[in-house]
Amino acid sequence: MVELFKHKEKLLKYSALLEEELLEVYYNILKRMNFFNEQTISDESVRQAHELCKDIDEKDTPFMALTIELNGLLWTKDDTLKDGLKKKGFDKFFEI
């Protein structure tokens, strides 16, 4: 969630929003989000995710584990990650 606020000043500068308006936007985004405790993800999903990510980018393991656990689609703009995962047979991506 820290990432959401990391660029707040830049967003204020380029959006021409008042700080109060930007905080309202943040509030509207956050109230629609679901947060997951990593400890509720099964060991098997974490193991699978680690196997997929370990030689690409281990920092992506929690996101992959949640994707696997929820049988969902991974949304990423990291082309290195996508290409590496595709080479390993993972093809469940959310594309815009």
Q: What is the CA radius of gyration of the chain?
A: 16
Q: Strand, coil or helix: what is 90?
A: coil
Model pLDDT, residue 35: 87
Q: List pLDDT tens digits, range 70-80.
A: 999 999 999 99
Comparing 41 with 4, the larger pLDDT belongs to 41
CA distance 96 to 82: 14
Domain ranges of the chain: 1-35, 38-87
Q: List pLDDT tens digits, range 40-53.
A: 999 999 999 999 99
Q: Strand, coil or helix: what is 74?
A: strand
Q: Strand, coil or helix: what is 23?
A: helix
Choose among 27, 30, 69: nearest CA to 47: 69
Q: Is 92 left (phi over 0), alpha (psi -120 to 50) or beta?
A: beta
